[in-house]
Structure formats: C-alpha cells, structure tokens
C-alpha cells in the first residue's frame, strides 16, 4: 500500500542521489526527479490541504497544470510559496513545506471547515455582504481571511537578482515534445534562426513518458538524439526551463527562464530568473494537451491521479504511486496507463470504463468493467478503494491509487490570449484555437491530434510552411516509423452521476459539481459569471484542469453543446510569474533612470542636498556649519543673492539649437510673442502656447547668428518642447527650411546672480561687461581669460543683476570652481533650488506651478506680450475665443497674510470674506508660496478670479485639509523691486518681462 | 587651448571596481569627439557626401539627414572642417561634451547587450558598420557595430552613469570589466 521507486527504468540519474526535506523530514531522491516524483517515491502522497475545506490532497498531475501539490520551497528570504511540486526540479538541500494546514499536514484544525461546507457553497462570500450587515467586519471577514489561503509570503528582502533580456528569431517553437522537436529540427536544418523553448528542465515532452518507439528507437532516446542535433546547430537556441507565458502585439512573446531555481545557493553573478521578450517572425505552438480528470464522487482523495501522470511517474521517473492501481476512463488512453502499469510489474486492480464497448485491449489478466462508473472512493488521507456502480449493482474494489482519464484538452492558452475565442470541435470533443494570426500556428496535440505519428508529421509540416513563407527550402525527409499502440477516442462524460461524496471540478479552489448547479439555479450560469460566482478556474492554475470540465458540466446542465457555453477568457500569464522577474533589475537605484547634471560633483563637494526633480537630481540647498534646517540655508542663500551674489546650477534646462534660413519664421510661429526681429546677440523671454491657447512652456530664445538660434526650455518640459517642435515642423510646416537638435547635455550652465555678479564675472571674462558692452539680455559667445570659449547670457530669474554662463559640460565643474574662487572676495555662495524658488516668488516670476495647463498668457500677466498682429502662431486662433477672454478668469496675483504668522500654503483655495466654502464661491487657488527672508513674512502667488482688479482686497485663504482659514491681502505678484531697478541697464527692451533662469 | 581647466568625465570613479581587463571589456574614451550634423531639406545628399569624405569610419546615421560623427579621440579640427565644408547647408553642433562614448567587446558582448537593447543584433540584422538609435536600459543611446564582437555606444552625458551601471550589472555573469582608454 505504498508509493515506491521501481528498481529500474526512468530517466532519473540513479547514480546521483540527492537528499531533500518536506515538512522537516529528510527524504532521498535522484537527479532528474521533480519534488513530486521524489515525494511519491517516498510514499508521501499527501502533500497539501485544499483552499476552502482543508481536505487532504495529493499530487494529481505530473506537469504545470497541477492544482493540488502546492508547496513552499526554500527558507528565509528565499522561501517561495505556492510552488507546484510537479514542476519543481529536485536538487540537493531542497527544503519544502506543505501549506494551508495547522498544526500539521496530518492533523489540520482547519479541516473542520468541511463541516461548515453547507454554508461555504458557491457565492457564499458574496452572500456574506448581504446580511447581517454588522457581521461582515466582525465575523465573516476575519473568518474568511483566517480559513482560506495558500502559502505565506516572506516579508524579507529577496536576496537574488532578476534580469530581462530580448531574443529574436525566425521561428519560436513553444514546447519540445514530439511536434515541437519535429518543427525545430525541420526549421533548424533549413537554416532558420530557431528558438525552442520548453518549460521542463528536460525537453522532450510526452516522448519522455511514453513506451512507444520512433524509427526503432525508444521515444525518450529519440528525443535526446534530436536535441543533440539541435544543440549542434549554431542557428538553433535551446531554452529549457523556459515557460512562454504570453503572446503580445507584433508577435512578441514573453517567457520566463528559471536560471537558478534548481540550485541550493544561487550565484550572485547570475539571475535566478530571467524574463525574455522573444521577437519572433513566426511561432509554432506545440504545447501539447492536458488530460482531464473525470468528475466523480470522492475524486480528490490523495492517490487519485490523471492516468497520463501515472504513466509519466512510471516511465520518466521510475516511480509508482501504488502497488495496486485502478484505472477509471472513458477513452483509450486509460488503457495505455494500464499497460504501462502492467509493464512495470504493478497490479492493475481493474479498468473501470464508462463506455458500453471498447476496442482497446486491456493487458492480459486485467479485469475490465464496461458501462461502469466510480461513485465514491474509500480512505482518508489516501485512497484505499473505489465504489464501482454498474446498472444499479455496487461493488467495492480495493486499490491504493487510481489513474483517471477523462479526455484531452489541447493547450491553446497562448493562441487565445489576444482576443481569439477557442472553437469547440464536436469531432475532437475539445476546444481548439482558431487561426487568428498567420504568424502563429498550432501543431501536434495542441491542435487536437492524437497519435505520435500525427504529431511528428504535423510539427514538421507546420515548420515547412514557415520555411516556405520565409523563402527558404526544407530538405525532403522520409517520416520515421512510429511503433505505438492505437487507442480509441474518449466518449464524453462530463459528470459521473450518482456521486456519494463531493465531486470536484476545480481542485485548487474547492469547487464541486453542486457549486456549479447552485450557480445555474441562481442564474449565474453564463460561463464568465459562473466562473466568478463559484471561483471555478480562478485559482493560480487558472483552471487548467477545471475549465473544460466546468464548461462541459454547465452545457450538460443546460442541455446544450459545450460550443454554446464557450470558455472563459485566456489572459497572460500561462503559469504564475514571480514579481521579481517582472521587476527585473528595476528596483532600488535601478528603478528608473537617474540624470545627473555636469555640475553634480561641484554641488556635492560644496555640501549640496539633492532633490529628485523628474529624473534629475538637483541641488536643493547647501547647508553651512551651524545650520540645522533647509530653511536656514535657504534664507541665507536668498539674502546673499540679494546682497552679494550667488551661483546656481541651471544645467538641467532644456537646450535646443535651431538653424536654417527659415529658423526665425519657424520660431516666430512657435512662440506667441514676436521673435522674427530678435537682434543677433540678444536673448528674449518667450511663451509657447498649445493650440488651445494655454501656455505650453516658457523659456528664452537667443539669436547667435541670423540663421542660428539657441533656445532654453524649462527642465520638466525639455522633451515635450522638442516633440512639439518636431510635430509642427514635420506635420504643419515641412516647407520651412531649418533643422534643430537638442544640446541639453553638451552644456553646463550656471547662473551667477546678485549685485556683485558683474564684478565677479569681469574678473573671469575677456569682454566688456558694462551695461554698454554687455547690456541686459545680451547673449553671445565670449572667452574666459583662462582660455575657454563659453556662452554668456545676461538674463535674470531672481530679479537681480544676473548672468547665465554656459560652458562645455566637461569643463563645468572646473569653471564653477574658478567662479567660486574668484567670487569669494565678493561673498559669492552657492544657492540651490529652494532659494531659486524663493527668489522667483519674491519677484513674481511664474513656473509650471502657475503655468499649469489652464493658464493663458494674459492670466499670467503676459497679455501684452502676445503678437496678435503676427499672421499666425500656435494658439492664436483659440486665444480669442469667448472663454479665454472672459473678465472673470483666474489671474496671477500676490498674497500677503494679514497676520505674518500665517503661512499661506500652495493648494489652498480663496474665498470672499463671509462666503461659505463651496465650489460656487471658490475664488481661486494658491499656486506657490514661501517665506520671504527679504520681507520677513510669508508670501504667495495665486490665481484669483479677476485678480488684477482686486489688488488691496482682503480675501480668505481656506484649506480644510490642513485646517487653514485666515485673511490675506491681495497684492501685486512682484514683491521685490517692482521697478526693476536692480536689473539696471534694462533699457533697450523695457516692455519685455524679465526672464527666468530655471523652473522646477 | 582650453586653459588650465581640468576635464570631468561623468564616469570618473565608476570604473575603480574593475581593475582587470577581461575578455569581455568596456572601454571608455575620456575625450572623444562627437559632432551632430543635420542637413537642411534638399541638402541631404550633398552633406552626406561631404561627411563620407571627412568622417572615415566614424559616421553614425541617427535619422533622416541626420548623423553623429564619432571619433574616439578629440579632433577639434574635424569640427571646424565640417562647419566650413557644410556651410549653410547643415546644422553642425559639437556634442563631444554631451555624449559619453564607449565600446564593448568580447565573445559575449551580444549576450550582454541583449539584456539592454531590444533590437536584433544578429550579424544578418545588424552587420558591422550598422548603427542606430536604440533604447538602452530605459534611456536613448546610439549603438554602432564596429566589429564582429565589438559595439560602440554613445550615451547622453546626464544618463551615462546610470546606463553604464546597468551595462556592468548585465555583464556580471560574463565577468565584464571596464576602464578608460589610455
């Protein structure tokens, strides 16, 4: 009465024993075993407890469709729950544990759930929502959470590495069984770039499990010969341990390769799993077929297995699940397993066949019971016998394992992931994949073929079609003779009537026939509804075992064909994929690209704290000795810029060079303000609009030569602006002769701002920087006295006398060092993004906090800049529409709190005094705020309805989230130097607003 | 001609972990020349001819009428030469400071790049002399095949450290090393 290892046979390496543990007990297996085969060899048939009723469960299959044998493998941070023991490659030191039981697998308190099963039927979960209301939180949910479940995740950090990779091929063959090998061989010999992927660690598929011979060679040996030849072909890549899990657009397939899941201590140099994206010109799906169990009373007792699984354990692993095995079948392949059992010297208790007659020959001396059915099984934690019913006569037959064959379901998962619905074939009694894309064909038993001969021929034929489609020729080869016994078809039996105990359809989710019946009664009988109501097919195995049976049973209940019921929707992933694999290297600092300014090193050595701004790391503030908070540093930096001078890294601005005879015309159409006549050697602030009249971005444009311009954008919109330009040039004005290119990374750019900036730069620059020699908004190439060509712009975002100095990026740090050294005597200090923000708010300059996509130039106070006399510019047409010229639009204003202790915070809403807070009474929103060290109190910028008419009004700053409600005075947005006296020399373009150095 | 200023390379300090030079190796060029050339409409053929004559094997196509000239060592005369010869027919910008140029070579360089670059690098699909803009570890890069087992990569300076670290991570299983060209 035991599962045991046969004395000979199988593809395991008996010279290499390995020891492993299960629930603390140490066992021996061999190299080539799966955890499941090794457990069966050690008579450990009970491997888990079921999800809902905690019923004892054993191994059901020998492959990736396994619903029962889910175990936790590994310990500590490497423990991985819900691993299918049937596909887990055995290795020395493997540690495994059963799941969903307490205190032990043998004695499980949770099995009391079985007593509650009348209340745990289909939809019970949804019904708990209904009544009584208070029960959900206090009773139902805690109970359900405690009782239901799978393995437990470790919360420790995964110590292993994961990777992603791309592969390209002419032909991807999924599955290395008979059809897949034949296809790969044919295509490989014809010179195609072939990838052959198989989920198993040993390719060969069913060839490893059948007793047939091919060309006189045993099937498993034949597989090895073919694999050896494929390995020798440079144009063929074999990918064992690789599950193709998804089919995506453009014939790209997703696959996961288990690189180091079969070793005790993974090497750090390699990933444990690798995600492949396989770009295939063609693909052949040779994924085989899954054998369905029959649905009968007591069909989940440990020791009940699919017949093909029994054959696989016998032939491939040299393991028998019992000493006296019964077979229950409705078709020919049940007899095949009986033969395999007999050949291995195992007693066959009986073949119970539901059919009235069968052409299949039973092994000699084996009792065949036709027209018979199993209505119950005996035993507790493993099967001890079956109750067979024939025409009202019941008989109990002793056995210690039961092989069940209910027919074959082609594995068409991948072929149906992109919308194609499986098609029911009455002839094959199976759902087949329709041809939905010429680049994917299905071959072998995945296409519904039944014999080895057919599968081999079909694989080769499908490959020949691909070879021809690619314009190559395949060598003609004679087919090899296959020696195999012919078996008859299965006669559909979706449900074996007369069940004495639960007849399970979905083992993993504990769904039995009565659940489907309840769903039918309660009108949840459409297959997609039934799935969700009963949870049949919703477990981690996605119903590989359950779905077709569920369809067949529902069809029978309704009295229609399975074709009328259909299937649920197939979606990736075919089998579970770990989150680590999907993340790949994208974790921690590899999580997203990091952009560094060429002045990063300079900022670092000057004590900068960095802040992430988009992908950039920007210097935020520079703490000095004695300063504890960012505010202290920021206030000092601001005051120093206003009193002396500061240097700030603005390299992150987008920088674009534009060149060509029509460059000026192009830019004139792109910006809303006039740019056509911008003089050479001058810079100008500019606003780009979107077509809808809203501000897209702001920046500066400098004219280096009549046909050569240099543009800066904000940091965050650099990429967008380049795309915007490409779009208008390519789609609207391709006739304009110009080209442009990003030079953002070529230049390190620093702003030197403050009343002493000119004096500092004059020490460095070999040019006259007086107001005459280099007036406000001058922009041109100059030379540093130390000998370097640089670009100098006299532009200001702080409102101070200020310059921007652009130098080739590699020299940025050295030049910044020099500026710091020369500026020391003038009190020059570095300042960061925080101070930059305070300086611009004090000066009333806008950033994307204000230009938020709903703001027009006029809203932001730039109405007069718009060149409405220009024939056209992007955004002109819609700028004059009614809503955009309304008098009550939100306009930029400044705010000062009446009580200087009140901080006005961005995000707060504005209300009239005495008005109830409501959407209707909303007057606007605070966009930016800071503490002004110059004024000594908080200030803010806001967008306020008809704001410019309301200067002097008292308004309520309202922010319920943060509990703010206090009065503030509406004022001009320019808090510091409203007459631009500090800019000096700003005489040649008095109307042009000053320009900014940067935005966040 | 650039005075006393010392150069700062974005990968300074990043190679100290790789003292050896293994079969699979990344060479970083400390002072390369990279020049972007964009021909005006109608001038593409003339500009291409000019560049062919000037650039030797360093011409990388990056778009319609758009090239990046790459030299592994600084050649500022080339910049002025191209500017002079293309005149008003092309936008010529120096990108030598904006690009980080490196090469990867060795028997496994294709396997390493397959983890970073989605394009097919089989010699039939990406022969020697071929170049293109590729997605490279989440950022954009230029990739040119300059030998059977040798590729040249041009990265944007700001992303260079990130992309380089990704490249080295992917080279771990092949003992990839890196160093500056001397």
| Domain-located, residue A615 | no
Hey, what are A521's tokens? 């009664």
Whether residue A207 is found in the same domain as residue A68? no
* A787 to chain B: closest CA residue: B3
Pairing, β A324-329 against β A347-353? parallel
Following DSSP, what letter does each residue of B43-55 receive, concatenated?
A: -HHHHHHHHHHHH
Q: Which residue in B94, B137, B158 is closest to A596 by CB distance? A: B158
Which of A707, A722, A742 finishes a domain? A742
Q: Smallest CA–CA separation between B55 and chain A, in Å? A: 20
Write the pLDDT tens digit of every residue in A752-780: 999 999 999 999 999 999 999 999 999 99
What is the per-residue pLDDT for A996?
44
If DSSP codes are grouped into helix, strand and coil, which group holds residue A148? coil
Looking at residue A347, which CATH number applies to its domain? 3.50.50.60
| Domain-located, residue A495 | no
- Taking one residue from A and the other from B, the number of pairs with CB-CB distance under 8 angstroms is 148
Whether residue A934 is found in the same domain as residue A870? yes
What is the per-residue pLDDT for A163?
96
Write the pLDDT tens digit of every residue in A344-361: 999 999 999 999 999 999
* A710 to chain B: closest CA residue: B93
| Domain-located, residue A699 | yes
Write the pLDDT tens digit of every residue in A628-682: 999 999 999 999 999 999 999 999 999 999 999 999 999 999 999 999 999 999 9
Question: How far is the CA of A661 from the CAs of A705, A824, B46, B86, in angstroms?
Answer: 11, 45, 17, 14
β-strand partners of A781 = A791
Write the pLDDT tens digit of every residue in A298-309: 999 999 999 999
Domain extent, residue A271, equals 162-289+411-483
What is the per-residue pLDDT for A148?
65
Whether residue A73 is found in the same domain as residue A18? yes
**Range A430-448 average pLDDT:** 97
- Band (pLDDT 50/70/90 cuts) for residue A149 is low
| Angle at which helices A178-189 and A219-232 cross, to 10° | 30
Number of structural domains chain A divides into:
7
Give the helix/strand (H/E) hosting A327: strand A324-329
| Domain-located, residue A597 | no
Whether residue A527 is found in the same domain as residue A446? no
| Domain-located, residue A451 | yes
Hey, what are A237's tokens? 């890549």
Question: Residue for token digits 């100098």?
Answer: A792
Q: Do A268 and B9 make contact, defined as CB atoms within 8 angstroms?
A: no
The domain locations on chain B are 25-30+97-180, 33-94
Q: Do A595 and B159 make contact, defined as CB atoms within 8 angstroms?
A: yes
Write the pLDDT tens digit of every residue in B92-135: 999 999 999 999 999 999 999 999 999 999 999 999 999 999 99
Mean pLDDT score across all residues of chain A = 94
Whether residue A724 is found in the same domain as residue A802? no
Q: Smallest CA–CA separation between B123 and chain A, in Å? A: 12
**Range A855-872 average pLDDT:** 96
Write the pLDDT tens digit of every residue in B18-75: 999 999 999 999 999 999 999 999 999 999 999 999 988 899 999 999 999 999 999 9
Give the helix/strand (H/E) hosting A515: helix A513-521
Q: Touching check for B41 and chain A: CB below 8 Å? A: yes
What's the rounded Cα separation, in Å, for the pair A1000 and A605?
Answer: 22
Q: Smallest CA–CA separation between B92 and chain A, in Å? A: 9
What's the rounded Cα separation, in Å, for the pair A512 and A524?
Answer: 15
| Angle at which helices B76-86 and B44-55 cross, to 10° | 150
Whether residue A646 is found in the same domain as residue A771? yes
Q: Do B38 and A818 make contact, defined as CB atoms within 8 angstroms?
A: no
Q: Do B162 and A808 make contact, defined as CB atoms within 8 angstroms?
A: no
Hey, what are A665's tokens? 């015309």
What's the rounded Cα separation, in Å, for the pair A856 and A391?
Answer: 86
What's the rounded Cα separation, in Å, for the pair A466 and A172?
Answer: 11
Cis peptide before A103 (omega within 30 of 0): yes
Looking at residue A512, which CATH number applies to its domain? 1.10.10.1100
Whether residue A354 is found in the same domain as residue A462? no
- Band (pLDDT 50/70/90 cuts) for residue A191 is very high
Whether residue A192 is found in the same domain as residue A276? yes
| Domain-located, residue A832 | yes
pLDDT at A1000 over 80: no
pLDDT at A991 over 50: no
The residue that leads in pLDDT, B63 or A986, is: B63
- Band (pLDDT 50/70/90 cuts) for residue A151 is confident
Q: Touching check for B64 and chain A: CB below 8 Å? A: no
Give the helix/strand (H/E) hosting A621: strand A616-622
Whether residue A249 is found in the same domain as residue A379? no
Write the pLDDT tens digit of every residue in A8-46: 999 999 999 999 999 999 999 999 999 999 999 999 999
Looking at residue A908, which CATH number applies to its domain? 2.40.30.110
What is the per-residue pLDDT for B3?
63
pLDDT at A281 over 90: yes
DSSP strand E in B16-72: where?
25-28, 33-39, 59-63, 66-71
- Band (pLDDT 50/70/90 cuts) for residue A116 is confident
Q: Which residue in A167, A271, A598 is closest to B157 by CB distance? A: A598
Q: What percent of chain A has pLDDT over 90?
A: 90
**Range A373-402 average pLDDT:** 96
Asked whether this complex has an ipTM greater than 0.90, the answer is yes
* B44 to chain A: closest CA residue: A739
Write the pLDDT tens digit of every residue in A526-560: 999 999 999 999 999 999 999 999 999 999 999 99
The answer to whether domain B33-94 has CATH 3.30.43 is: no
What is the per-residue pLDDT for A479?
86
- Band (pLDDT 50/70/90 cuts) for residue B1 is very low
Q: What percent of chain B has pLDDT over 90?
A: 92
Q: Which residues of A touch B120 (CB under 8 A)?
A: 168, 279
Q: Touching check for B99 and chain A: CB below 8 Å? A: yes
What is the per-residue pLDDT for A143?
72
Give the helix/strand (H/E) hosting A460: helix A452-469
Following DSSP, what letter does each residue of A364-412 receive, concatenated?
A: TT--EETT-EEEEEEESSSEEEEEEEETTEEEEEE-SEEEEE--EEE--
**Residues A573-588, buried b or exposed e (16+ Cβ, 10 A)?**
bbbbbbebbeebbeee
Which of A526, A544, A565 finishes a domain? A565
Q: Do A593 and B138 make contact, defined as CB atoms within 8 angstroms?
A: yes
**Range A322-342 average pLDDT:** 97
What is the per-residue pLDDT for A147?
66
Q: Touching check for B30 and chain A: CB below 8 Å? A: no
B25-30+97-180: CATH topology is: Gyrase A; domain 2 (3.30.1360)
| Domain-located, residue A628 | no
Q: Residue A998's closest CA among A820, A793, A807?
A: A793
pLDDT at A988 over 50: no
Q: Residue A281's closest CA among B142, B130, B124, B62?
A: B124
* Residues 793-812, chain A, touching B (beta carbon < 8 A): 808-812
What is the per-residue pLDDT for A100?
84
What is the per-residue pLDDT for A390?
95
Q: Touching check for B109 and chain A: CB below 8 Å? A: no
What is the per-residue pLDDT for A48?
92
Whether residue A226 is found in the same domain as residue A269? yes
pLDDT at A412 over 90: yes
| Domain-located, residue A998 | no
**Range A36-64 average pLDDT:** 94
Q: Touching check for A786 and chain B: CB below 8 Å? A: yes
Residues near A122 by Cβ (< 8 Å), separated by ≥ 6? A511, A515, A516, A518, A519, A522, A524, A533, A534, A535
Q: Which residues of A touch B163 (CB under 8 A)?
A: 593
Q: Do B3 and A657 make contact, defined as CB atoms within 8 angstroms?
A: no
Whether residue A326 is found in the same domain as residue A462? no
**Range A570-592 average pLDDT:** 92
For residues A31 and A43, the answer to whether their CB atoms sit within 8 Å is no
pLDDT at A133 over 80: no
């Amino acid at each position: 009465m035991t599962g045991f290892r046969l004395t000979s046979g199988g593809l395991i390496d008996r010279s290499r024993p390995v020891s492993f543990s299960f629930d603390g007990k140490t066992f021996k297996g061999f190299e080539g075993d799966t955890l499941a085969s090794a457990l069966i060899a050690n008579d450990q048939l009970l491997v888990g407890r079921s999800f809902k009723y905690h019923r004892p469960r054993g191994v059901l299959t020998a492959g990736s469709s396994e619903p029962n044998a889910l175990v936790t493998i590994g310990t500590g941070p490497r423990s991985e729950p819900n691993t299918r023991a049937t596909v887990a490659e055995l290795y020395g030191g493997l540690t495994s544990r059963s799941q969903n039981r307490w205190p032990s697998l043998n004695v499980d308190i949770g099995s009391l759930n079985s007593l509650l099963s009348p209340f745990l039927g289909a939809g019970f979960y949804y019904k708990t929502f209904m009544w009584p209301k208070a029960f959900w939180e206090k009773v139902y949910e805690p109970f359900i959470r405690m009782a239901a479940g799978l393995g437990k995740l470790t919360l420790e950090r995964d110590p292993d590495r994961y990777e992603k990779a791309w592969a390209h091929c002419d032909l991807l063959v999924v599955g290395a069984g008979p059809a897949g090998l034949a296809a790969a061989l044919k295509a490989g010999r014809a010179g195609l770039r072939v990838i052959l992927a198989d989920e198993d660690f040993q390719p060969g598929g069913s060839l490893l499990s059948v007793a047939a011979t091919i060309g006189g060679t045993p099937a498993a040996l034949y597989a090895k010969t073919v694999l050896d030849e494929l390995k020798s072909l440079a144009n063929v890549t074999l990918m064992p341990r690789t599950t193709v899990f998804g089919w995506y657009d453009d014939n790209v397939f997703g696959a996961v390769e288990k690189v180091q899941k079969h070793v005790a201590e993974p090497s750090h140099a390699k990933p444990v799993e690798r995600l492949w994206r396989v770009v295939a010109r063609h693909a052949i799906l040779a994924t085989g077929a899954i054998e369905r169990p029959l649905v009968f009373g007591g069909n989940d007792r440990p020791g009940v297995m699919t017949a093909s699984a029994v054959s696989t354990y016998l032939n491939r692993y040299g393991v028998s699940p019992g000493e006296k095995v019964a077979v229950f079948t409705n078709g020919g392949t049940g007899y095949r397993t009986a033969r395999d059992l007999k050949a291995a010297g195992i007693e066959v208790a009986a073949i119970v066949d539901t059919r009235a007659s069968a052409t299949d020959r039973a092994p000699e001396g084996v009792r065949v019971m036709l027209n018979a059915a199993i209505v119950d099984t005996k035993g507790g934690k493993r099967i001890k016998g079956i109750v067979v019913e024939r025409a009202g006569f019941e008989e109990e037959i002793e056995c210690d394992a039961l092989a069940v064959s209910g027919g074959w379901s082609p594995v068409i998962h991948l072929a149906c992931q992109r919308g194609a619905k499986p098609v029911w074939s009455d002839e094959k009694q199976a759902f087949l994949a329709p041809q939905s894309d010429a680049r994917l064909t299905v071959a072998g038993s995945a296409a519904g073929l039944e014999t080895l001969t057919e599968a081999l021929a079909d694989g080769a034929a499908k490959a020949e079609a691909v070879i021809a489609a690619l314009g190559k020729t395949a060598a003609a080869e004679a087919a090899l003779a296959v020696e195999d016994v012919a078996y008859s078809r299965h006669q559909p039996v979706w449900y074996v009537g007369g069940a004495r105990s639960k007849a399970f359809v979905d083992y993993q989710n504990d769904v039995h026939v009565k659940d489907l019946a309840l769903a039918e009664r309660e009108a949840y009988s459409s297959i997609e509804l039934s799935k969700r109501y009963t949870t049949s097919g919703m477990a981690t195995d996605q119903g590989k075992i359950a779905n077709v049976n569920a369809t067949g049973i529902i069809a029978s209940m309704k009295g229609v064909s399975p074709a009328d019921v259909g299937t649920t929707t197939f979606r990736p992933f075919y089998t579970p994929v770990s989150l680590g694999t999907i993340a790949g290297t994208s974790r921690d600092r590899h999580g997203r690209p990091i952009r560094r300014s060429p002045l990063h090193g300079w900022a670092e050595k000057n004590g900068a704290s960095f802040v992430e701004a988009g992908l950039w790391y920007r210097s935020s503030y520079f703490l000095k000795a004695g300063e504890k908070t960012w505010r202290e540093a920021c206030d000092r930096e601001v005051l120093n810029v206003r009193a002396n001078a500061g240097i700030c890294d603005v390299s992150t601005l987008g920088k674009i060079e534009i060149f060509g005879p029509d460059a000026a015309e192009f830019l004139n159409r792109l910006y809303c303000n006039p740019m056509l006549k911008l003089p050479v050697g001058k810079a100008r602030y500019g606003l780009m609009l979107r077509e809808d009249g809203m501000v897209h971005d702001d920046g500066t444009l400098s004219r280096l030569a009549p046909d050569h311009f240099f543009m800066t954008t904000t940091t965050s919109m650099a990429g967008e602006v380049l795309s915007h330009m490409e779009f208008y040039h390519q789609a609207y004005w391709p006739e304009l002769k110009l080209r442009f290119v990003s030079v953002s990374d070529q230049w390190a750019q620093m702003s030197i701002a403050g009343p002493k900036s000119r004096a500092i730069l004059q020490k460095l620059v070999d040019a006259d920087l007086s107001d005459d020699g280099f007036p406000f908004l001058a922009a041109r190439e100059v030379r540093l006295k130390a000998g370097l060509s640089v670009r100098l712009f006299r532009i200001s975002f702080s409102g101070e006398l200020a310059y921007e100095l652009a130098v080739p990026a590699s020299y940025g740090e050295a030049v910044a060092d020099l500026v710091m050294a020369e500026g020391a005597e003038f009190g020059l200090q570095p300042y960061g993004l925080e101070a930059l923000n305070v300086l611009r708010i004090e000066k009333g300059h806008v950033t994307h906090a204000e230009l938020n996509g709903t703001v027009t130039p006029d809203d932001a106070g730039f109405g007069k800049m718009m060149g409405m006399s220009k024939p056209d510019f992007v955004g002109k047409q819609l700028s004059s529409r009614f809503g955009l010229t309304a008098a009550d639009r939100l306009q930029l204003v400044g705010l000062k709190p009446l009580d200087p202790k009140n901080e006005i915070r961005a995000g707060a809403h504005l209300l009239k005094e005495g008005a109830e807070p409501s959407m209707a009474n909303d007057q606007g929103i605070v966009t930016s705020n800071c503490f002004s060290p110059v004024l000594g109190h908080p200030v803010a910028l806001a967008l306020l309805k008809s704001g410019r008419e309301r200067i002097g009004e008292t308004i309520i700053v309202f922010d319920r989230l943060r509990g703010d409600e206090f009065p503030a005075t509406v004022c001009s947005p320019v808090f510091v130097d409203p007459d631009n006296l500090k800019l000096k020399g700003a005489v040649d373009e008095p109307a042009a607003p000053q320009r900014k150095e940067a935005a966040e | 001609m650039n005075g006393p200023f010392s150069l700062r390379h974005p990968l300074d300090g990043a190679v100290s972990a790789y003292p050896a030079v293994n079969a699979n190796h990344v060479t970083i060029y400390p002072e390369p020349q990279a020049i972007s050339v964009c021909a005006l409409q109608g001038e593409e053929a003339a500009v291409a001819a000019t560049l062919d004559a000037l650039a030797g094997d360093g011409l990388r196509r990056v778009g319609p009428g758009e090239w990046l000239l790459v030299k592994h060592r600084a050649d500022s005369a080339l910049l002025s030469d191209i500017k002079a010869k293309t005149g008003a027919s092309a936008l010529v910008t120096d990108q030598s400071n904006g690009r980080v140029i490196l090469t990867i070579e060795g028997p496994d360089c294709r396997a390493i790049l397959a983890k970073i670059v989605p394009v097919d690098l089989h010699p039939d699909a990406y022969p020697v002399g071929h170049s293109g803009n590729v997605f490279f570890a989440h950022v954009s890069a230029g990739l040119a095949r300059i030998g059977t087992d040798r590729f040249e990569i041009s990265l944007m300076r700001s992303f260079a450290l990130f992309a380089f670290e990704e490249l080295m991570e992917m080279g771990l299983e092949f003992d990839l090393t890196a160093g500056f060209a001397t």
